[in-house]
Each structure stands twice: as C-alpha cells, then as structure tokens.
C-alpha cells in the first residue's frame, strides 16, 4: 500500500482494495446472517465464525450415508467414518505449523486443555506453579486452578500461590515480552507449566510464542498454548517453535459451527519414542490405542505414537464434517496470504477509526505493532455499554461487548472486505456521534 493510499478514507478506496484482493472471492463461500437494516457487517468471527455454504451438503452426505448404510457407513460411507478424524489431519497441521501426526481433532477446547495437562502438568512439592495471563479466558483459569487443586491434594504442595497471573504494568493494557520472561525467571524453580493464550481473547495481544516457549523450556518448564484466538488468525509454527502442547477451538476463526470439535497438538518429541510415550501419564480411551491392535479388544493400552494417543473416543462424524469443509477454505486461501490480508485489513480498520469522530472517546487496548496482534482490535469507548452494542446490531454491525467495557471488533480476512470495514466505521461514527 502506497503512502498516498494510506491516507485515503474514501469509499472508493475501500472498493478498489477489494478489487485488488485475490482472497475476495472466498467471501461468497459463506452465509452471512440477515439483518433488519438490510446490511450485515459481521465482525465477530473471533466469537462465532460464519457458516461455509458447503457445510450443509457435507452434513447431508453423512445423514444420507447413515440412513442408507447404518453401521456399514464406518467402511462404506463416501468418507468412511472409522478413520474420519484423518480427514482433517493434514489441513489442521498446515494451519498451526505442525507435522500431521502432531495434531488431532477431538473433544472441546477446555476438555483438551485438561487432557493435555494430565500429561504435561506434573507438579512436585517444589515445582508446581502454573503461569497464565491475568486476563486469561475464565475457562482456562478454572481449568488450571482445578488441576492445581487436584494435584495439591495428592502431592501436598501449597496451592494458594500456585496460579501465577501475569499482569501488565500499571497504566498498560498488554504484557511486555521482557516482563513475561522476567516473571518466569523470578520463580523459575517453582514453575511447572506456562500456559498462555496465543492471542489474548480480551486485548487481542499476540504473544511471542517462540521466545516465551524457548525461555520457559530453558528453565525446565513445560510450555503449552491455548490457540483459541490464534488458530486461523495468526501464523503459528508449533513444531518449529518446539511448543510442548497446544489446544484450540474451531468455532471462532475456524468457522466450524457452534461447539465445533476442537484441536490438539502434541510435539512429536513426546511421542516419537514409544517407551517414553508410554511413560507419560494419560487419561486413555480406545481411540488412542494403536489402530493396529485397537480392534483386538485387548485390555492393555498401547498408545499410538502420535497426538492421536490422547483421543478417547471414536470420531464425532457430524461435528468433523463442518471442520473439514472449513479447513478446505483455509487451504484455498493459504494461511500466509490470509495473514497478510489480515494485517492490512486490521491496520485499515485502525486507521479509519483513528480518523473518525469515534477517536476522541476511544482508546485501543490492542498493540499497534502488527506482529503483536491478530485480526482483532479491542476498543474502550467512553460511554459504550452492552446497550450500545445492541444499537450497533440494529444497524447491522455485529461486534461484541465484554465486561466491563471492551468492544471487540475482528475483521476476518476469509470473508470480511475492506468495504465492510469502511461501512462499519461509518455506522460506528453515527452511533457514537
Ligand atoms: C473461546 C475460548 C474458550 C472456550 O472454551 P470451550 O471449551 O470451547 O467452551 C476457552 N479459552 C479461550 C482462551 C477461549 O478464547
């Protein structure tokens, strides 16, 4: 984008950007909800992504196969059900920068965090702390605190100070990487696990996953990541960055529907050596057993040497079909290109807001550095309440309000256009003027 163009606030400029955008046609692959105002400006892909149009046929295929074949669908369905989780393995791996055998689609996000902590949070009397963001998503806080409680009863450590919550400096909204490292360093002998959100759900801050992971591991600490707001948004490289584990949901940027089946990553270091893998504590189920012996129906468990070892149950076919359809669109876009568009689109949103009448009563929580954020901008707007977001919705603007006073706006590069952004800022300016 040229310097002259960067100052251009016109509608024509937005249209021209869309003309030039090679990802623009992907927008037509999604259903947009109908709005009373006749215009839909959907900026909550960070909360529930839009439905890909191909999902309906994919679900009907499974329903038809079930009706037509019954149990034989496990083998004879168009997409056989028995290995159905394999359908999403490779696209999922591409999306999060993993090797195919390092990822698996299963369960829901919080369930996966628990299952992974069972294996990777292994506290002792002296090393037992878990580091999270002070503004971690509540479910992550509850999951970590309840793991601490569970283990403290068995191991007998002091659980009162076991959950370390990283707070920004006075007067700042986001965390500095150096401060995160310093906090880890201060208690390095006592910390068992660092488990942060790749992108913080409230502030939109994208953490330096590689640096934090490396630093934690140098102190003998496990580094796990919650990618709920990073998967399909930021360009992550879980394998190269050597992350120990990660989990994410698929209904936000991954557009796979309400309560969609989640994802999990376990670095191959932890599974390559079968005897080491067998030593890991794990809550096991039959779908984590080596497929070669799974149907021998033996009582002893042989974990498959991959992330699949954490799978408990046979794959939820009706939940996986939308994920497969959605991931096909990510493959069409390619995450690198998607991220480039996202960086430009969010910068455009930031620029328009800064030049709008909203600016004088607005404060942006999200870092201005594109390397430290994903698609989302978190705004504090003077006088904005939950009521205000209803008024925006009446005008067709979908954004969300988080207590106490944060409005989150996330242009999703798969389906949002520059013109969407331009219109959204125009409507906001009217509502807030
Ligand atoms: C959305 C979100 C969740 C939600 O958890 P579910 O188990 O999918 O209901 C948890 N953690 C984070 C960081 C989130 O953004």
Q: What is the predicted pLDDT for the residue at 297? A: 85
Report the percentage of the chain scoring pLDDT > 90: 88
Q: What is the predicted pLDDT for the residue at 395? A: 94
Q: What is the predicted pLDDT for the residue at 388? A: 83
Whether the predicted pLDDT of 8 surpasses 90: no
Lowest mean pLDDT among 27-36, 158-167, 268-277: 268-277
Reading phi first (left if > 0) and then psi (alpha if -120 to 50, else beta), residue 156 is in left
Quick: pLDDT tens for 99-119: 999 999 999 999 999 999 999
Q: What is the predicted pLDDT for the residue at 5? A: 52
Reading phi first (left if > 0) and then psi (alpha if -120 to 50, else beta), residue 94 is in alpha
Q: Give the 3-state secondary structure of residue 99.
A: coil
Q: What is the predicted pLDDT for the residue at 162? A: 98
Q: What is the mean pLDDT of residues 64-93?
A: 97
Lowest mean pLDDT among 14-28, 252-266, 353-367, 397-411: 397-411
Give me ligand 1 centre to Cα 300, in Å: 33
Q: What is the predicted pLDDT for the residue at 273? A: 84
Give me ligand 1 centre to Cα 29, in Å: 26
Going by alpha carbons, the residue nearest to atom 2 of ligand 1 is 228
Give me ligand 1 centre to Cα 166, in Å: 19
DSSP 8-state code for residue 249? -
Give me ligand 1 centre to Cα 356, in Å: 33
Alpha helix (H) ranges present in 70-196?
A: 73-76, 89-96, 109-120, 138-155, 177-186
Cα–Cα distance, 38 to 257 (Å, whole number)? 24
Which of 44, 201, 376 to mutate to test ligand 1, by most ligand atoms within 8 A of the CB atom? Answer: 201
Whether the predicted pLDDT of 94 surpasses 50: yes
Give me ligand 1 centre to Cα 142, in Å: 11
Lowest mean pLDDT among 4-13, 29-38, 69-78, 123-132: 4-13
Q: What is the torsion angle, in degrees rounded to the nearest 10, for the CA atoms of residue 257, residue 231, residue 151 and residue 182?
A: -150
Average pLDDT, the chain: 95
Whether the predicted pLDDT of 1 surpasses 50: no
Q: What is the mean pLDDT of residues 289-301?
A: 88
* Nearest atom within ligand 1 for CA of residue 197: 13
Instruction: Output the six-digit token pair for 361.
Output: 């009563």
* Alpha-carbon distance values, 321 to 105, 109, 169, 196, 266 (Å): 11, 18, 44, 29, 23
Going by alpha carbons, the residue nearest to atom 15 of ligand 1 is 228
Nearest one of 170, 166, 178, 159 to 135, comparing CA atoms: 166
* Nearest atom within ligand 1 for CA of residue 200: 13
Which of 108, 117, 135, 137 to mutate to test ligand 1, by most ligand atoms within 8 A of the CB atom? Answer: 137
Q: What is the mean pLDDT of residues 164-193?
A: 97
Q: Taking the model in full, what pTM does it have?
A: 0.96
Q: What is the predicted pLDDT for the residue at 382? A: 87
* Alpha-carbon distance values, 188 to 29, 177, 181, 195 (Å): 48, 16, 10, 14
DSSP 8-state code for residue 298? -
Which of 105, 107, 108, 109 to mutate to test ligand 1, by most ligand atoms within 8 A of the CB atom? Answer: 109
Radius of gyration, CA atoms only, the chain: 22
Whether the predicted pLDDT of 384 surpasses 70: yes
Q: What is the mean pLDDT of residues 233-248?
A: 98
Ligand 1 residue neighbourhood (C-beta within 6 Å):
108-110, 137, 139-140, 197, 201, 226, 228-229, 249
Quick: pLDDT tens for 305-340: 999 999 999 999 999 999 999 999 999 999 999 999
Whether the predicted pLDDT of 385 surpasses 90: no
Q: What is the predicted pLDDT for the residue at 216? A: 98
Going by alpha carbons, the residue nearest to atom 8 of ligand 1 is 109
Give me ligand 1 centre to Cα 246, in Å: 13
Q: What is the predicted pLDDT for the residue at 7? A: 65
Q: What is the predicted pLDDT for the residue at 6? A: 54
Quick: pLDDT tens for 208-233: 999 999 999 999 999 999 999 999 99
The structural domains of the chain, ordered by start, are 6-31+335-431 (3.90.1150.10), 63-329 (3.40.640.10)
Which of 142, 204, 228 to mutate to test ligand 1, by most ligand atoms within 8 A of the CB atom? Answer: 228
Going by alpha carbons, the residue nearest to atom 10 of ligand 1 is 139
Whether the predicted pLDDT of 368 surpasses 90: yes
Whether the predicted pLDDT of 405 surpasses 90: no
């Amino acid at each position: 984008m040229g310097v002259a163009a960067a100052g251009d606030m016109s509608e024509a400029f937005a249209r021209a950007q869309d003309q030039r955008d090679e990802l623009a046609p992907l927008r037509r692959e999604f259903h947009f909800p109908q709005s009373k105002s006749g215009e839909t400006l959907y900026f909550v892909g960070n909360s529930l992504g839009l439905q890909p149009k191909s999902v309906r046929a994919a679900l009907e295929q499974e329903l038809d196969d079930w009706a037509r074949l019954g149990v034989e669908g496990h083998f004879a369905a168009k997409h056989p059900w028995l290995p159905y989780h394999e359908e999403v393995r490779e696209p999922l791996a591409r999306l999060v920068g993993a090797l195919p055998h390092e990822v698996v689609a299963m369960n829901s996000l919080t369930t996966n965090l628990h299952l992974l902590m069972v294996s990777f949070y292994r506290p002792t009397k002296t090393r037992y702390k878990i580091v999270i963001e002070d503004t971690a998503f509540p479910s992550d806080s509850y999951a970590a605190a309840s793991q601490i409680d569970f283990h403290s009863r068995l191991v007998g450590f002091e659980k009162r100070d076991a959950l370390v919550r990283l707070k920004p400096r006075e007067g700042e909204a986001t965390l500095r990487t150096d401060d995160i490292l310093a906090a880890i360093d201060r208690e390095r002998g006592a910390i068992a696990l660092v488990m942060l959100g790749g992108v913080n759900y409230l502030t939109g801050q994208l953490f330096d996953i590689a640096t934090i992971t490396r630093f934690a591991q140098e102190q003998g600490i496990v580094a796990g990541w919650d990618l709920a707001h990073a998967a399909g948004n930021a360009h992550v490289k879980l394998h190269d960055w050597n992350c120990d584990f990660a989990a994410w949901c698929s209904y936000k940027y991954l557009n796979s529907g309400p309560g969609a089946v989640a994802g999990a990553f376990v670095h191959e270091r932890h599974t390559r050596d079968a005897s080491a893998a067998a030593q890991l504590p794990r809550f096991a189920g039959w779908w984590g057993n080596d497929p070669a012996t799974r149907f021998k129906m033996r009582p002893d468990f042989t974990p498959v040497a991959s992330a699949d070892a954490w799978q408990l149950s046979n794959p939820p076919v009706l939940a996986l079909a939308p994920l497969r359809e959605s991931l096909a669109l990510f493959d069409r876009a390619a995450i690198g290109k998607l991220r480039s568009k996202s960086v430009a689109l969010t910068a455009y949103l930031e620029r328009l807001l800064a030049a709008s009448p909203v600016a004088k009563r607005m404060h942006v929580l999200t870092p201005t550095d594109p390397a430290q954020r994903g698609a989302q901008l978190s705004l504090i707007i003077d006088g904005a309440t939950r009521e205000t977001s209803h008024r925006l919705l009446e005008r067709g603007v979908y954004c969300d309000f988080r207590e106490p006073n944060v409005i989150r706006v996330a242009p999703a590069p798969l389906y949002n256009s520059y013109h969407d952004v331009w219109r959204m800022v125009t409507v906001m300016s009217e509502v807030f003027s």
